[in-house]
Structure 1
Amino acid sequence: MSYVPATLRRVVTQRAGEQCEYCRFPQTASLFAFEMEHIIAEKHDGVTEAENLALSCPCCNRFKGTDLGSIDPETGQLTPFFNPRLQEWSEHFRLEGGVIVPRTPEGRVTAKILQFNLLERILEREQLISMGQ
């Protein structure tokens, strides 16, 4: 894994509004530091630059790993993950209470592989919503 300079980390963090660019969990509510996630992993020739980095919570980053996509559970087609640099979150997902509901094939594979809707993650979101975050 490449070193990400502090100036680049600040750019990515500020651009993300200090929230995970995949599940939208706020960094301020996490006990763990958020990570610089390579959207296209280095092993797939992804580079360490702002346009290939996303701020990611530890859960999303671990579940995504170096994957680029998965099989859409509805169509059976190989589908790329949601790309926070090229796509708008609200076009691919919506929040219903604490559940992140996918709207598109990219949303479905991202929600499935990054396990957005594990019970503990839903409960965390519901708690944050009830606290006004």
Structure 2
Amino acid sequence: MSYIPSALRRFVTQRAAGQCEYCRFPQTASFFAFEMEHIIAEKHGGLSIAENLALACTYCNRFKGTDLGSLDPDTKKLTPFYNPRLQQWSNHFRLDGAIITPLTPEGRVTVKILQFNLSERIIEREQLISSGE
């Protein structure tokens, strides 16, 4: 993995408003520091530039890894993940209580592979919602 300068890290963090750009979990509620995630992994030719970096929580970054997409559970077609640099979150996902519901094929593969709705993640979201975050 290449070095990401501190100024670029600050820019990515500020642009994300301190939230995971995939699941929207706030960094202030996380025990672990969020990570610079390559939307297109370096092994696939992705560069360490602002247009290819996203702020990601530990869960999302680990589950995504270097993958670019997966098979849509509905259509069984190879589908790319949601791309926070090119797409609007609200076009692909909806928050139903503490559940993140996918709205598109990209949303479905992202929810499935990044495991947005694991029981422990839902519990964390419920706690945040009940505390007003």
Three-state SS of the structure 2 residue aligned to 1:100 is: strand
TM-score between the two structures when normalised by the length of structure 2: 0.99
Q: Distance in 2 between matches of 1:3 and 1:131?
A: 37
Q: Which amino acid aligns with 1:68?
A: L
Return the offset for 1:49. Answer: 0.3
Gaps of 5+ in 1: none
Q: Which residue of 1 aligns with 2:27?
A: 27
Return the offset for 1:2. Answer: 1.0
Structure 1 segments of 4+ aligned residues over 2 angstroms from their partners: none
Q: Distance in 1 between matches of 2:5 and 2:128?
A: 31
Q: Which amino acid aligns with 2:35?
A: E
Q: Distance in 2 between matches of 1:5 and 1:30?
A: 23
Three-state SS of the structure 1 residue aligned to 2:25 is: coil
Return the offset for 1:121. Answer: 0.2
Percent identical residues: 77
Q: Deviations over 1:106-125 (max 9, x none)?
A: 00000000000000000000
TM-score between the two structures when normalised by the length of structure 1: 0.99
Return the offset for 1:66. Answer: 0.1
Return the offset for 1:67. Answer: 0.1
Q: Distance in 1 between matches of 2:2 and 2:111?
A: 26
Aligned length: 133
Q: Distance in 1 between matches of 2:112 and 2:83?
A: 15
Which runs of structure 2 are paired with 1:1-133 in the superposition (5 Å)? 1-133=1-133
Three-state SS of the structure 1 residue aligned to 2:95 is: strand
Return the offset for 1:3. Answer: 1.1
Gaps of 5+ in 2: none
Q: Distance in 1 between matches of 2:12 and 2:53?
A: 7
